[in-house]
Copies of this chain bind each other. A is one copy, B any other.
Amino acid sequence: MGETSSRPLGVAVVGYSFMGKAHSNAWRNVGAFHPGCPPVRQQLLVGRDASAVKEAAGHFGWAESATDWRAVIERDDIDIVDICTPGHLHHDIAVAALAAGKHVLVEKPLANTLAEAEAMVAAADSAHGVRAMVGFNYRRVPALALARELITEGRIGEVRQVRAAYLQDWLADAAAPMTWRLRQETAGSGALGDLASHVVDQLHYLLGERVTSASGRLQTFVSTREGDNGPEPVTVDDAAWANLTTSSGVVASVEVSRMAAGRKNGLTIEVYGSRGSLSFDLERLNELGVQDDLGGRVSGLRRVLVTEEDHPYLEAWWPPGHTLGWDHTFTSQAADFLTSIARGAAPTPSFGDGLAVQRVLAAIEESAAGSGARVDVHQEGTH
């Protein structure tokens, strides 16, 4: 599959529910906002229910629908396979698609197990001429991309500590019913895998280095919920806490919860450096708090509305003051992926980046399973 193909790149998305809808939106719009990217063709939407996926394909702008992903990835008119299925299918589809010479985008988390994630990294490393990326879409929030730039430039000095949380409240009500997300066999983990994964990837992204040790705790506050057949044990965590150290010695605290009444999508990150600090809240994703001094008569945290033309990703969108929403991050992600394809360059976050996150989560789980003591995270092979 060449990067220099003159026809539009054919895209297939596997999965058509929440993430499939978000990714479809990205492919439908990327050309309008990123005319410099290679053009794409929304060819195929893949799902298990033939009639439902056909209807979704019609609404979401796809030329066709299909039910067998294995057949799809063999098609010559498909250049990009975008995997939006539940996590346990990521490995098989990604490995097969890479083997078939397709570019692959996988929704986070990379896989449900470390072994699968490692195999996927190996597959990506051995594939030639194709690109593999994992979909941590918050790397495309302009305010967070700006934060990374400011950190890299040294504007807040040497980073010392990060205070991060991802708080939601959809399980705060003890009467909320049992779902597959609350069973370990189907979901893998709870708030840890779902929410802390975003936080850890942001740490890696913002700081440009990896977490190398972790201590942690997991808690299930509501241990039984009403299922279809009566009360059923909840076997994943409702909340998790971690204390992390990066390779250069930054200390990061992490708290994630699905029980935090009043917080809907509260990914908050505060970064403290030797010369200033940054703060962010996903519920106000167009804003970045910036303090780039250590005090003084008119010193204070600035509320930067990240909608200027010279802010990351903003050139593609609207004039200053016109805010973006959550879904715009997926369109920017698609553009970044297309750019990496066009340039023949490795995209970020890579599968290795996805594996690096999962190794941190595994270390947190290991620590939590004991008495919370610190454990090392071995990050070899996550580049």
User: Could you list which residues of chain A lie within 8 angstroms of chain B, going by C-beta atoms?
Assistant: 18, 21-22, 24-25, 28-29, 31-32, 35, 55, 59-61, 146, 150, 155-156, 160-161, 163, 165, 167-170, 172-174, 215, 217, 219, 221, 239, 241, 243, 251, 253, 255, 257, 259-266, 270, 272-277, 283-286, 290-292, 294-305, 307-308, 310-311, 317-328, 370-374
- A318 contacts B22, CB within 8 Å? yes
The answer for the CA separation of A59 and B35 in the assembled complex, in Å, is: 6
A163, closest chain B residue (CB)? B255
A61 contact from B32, B173, B298, Cβ within 8 A: B32
Return chain B residues, CB-CB under 8 Å to A168.
321
A214, closest chain B residue (CB)? B372
- A300 contacts B295, CB within 8 Å? no
- B299 contacts A304, CB within 8 Å? yes
- A294 contacts B261, CB within 8 Å? yes
Q: With A261-B276, A290-B300, A297-B310 in contact, is A29–B31 under 8 Å at CB?
A: no
Q: With A251-B219, A259-B160, A262-B277 in contact, is A169–B294 under 8 Å at CB?
A: yes
Could you pull out 30 A-B pairs where Cβ atoms are within 8 angstroms? A21-B32, A24-B32, A31-B59, A31-B61, A32-B61, A146-B298, A155-B298, A160-B239, A161-B239, A163-B167, A169-B295, A172-B272, A241-B243, A241-B253, A243-B243, A259-B272, A261-B294, A262-B300, A263-B277, A264-B321, A265-B320, A265-B321, A290-B298, A292-B298, A297-B308, A297-B311, A299-B304, A301-B303, A317-B327, A318-B326
Return chain B residues, CB-CB under 8 Å to A28.
28-29, 32, 61
Return chain B residues, CB-CB under 8 Å to A294.
169, 172-173, 261
Best-buried of A28, A146, A283, A324 by chain B (most CB within 10 Å): A283
A257 contact from B161, B219, B264, Cβ within 8 A: B161
Return chain B residues, CB-CB under 8 Å to A239.
160-161, 251
A24, closest chain B residue (CB)? B32
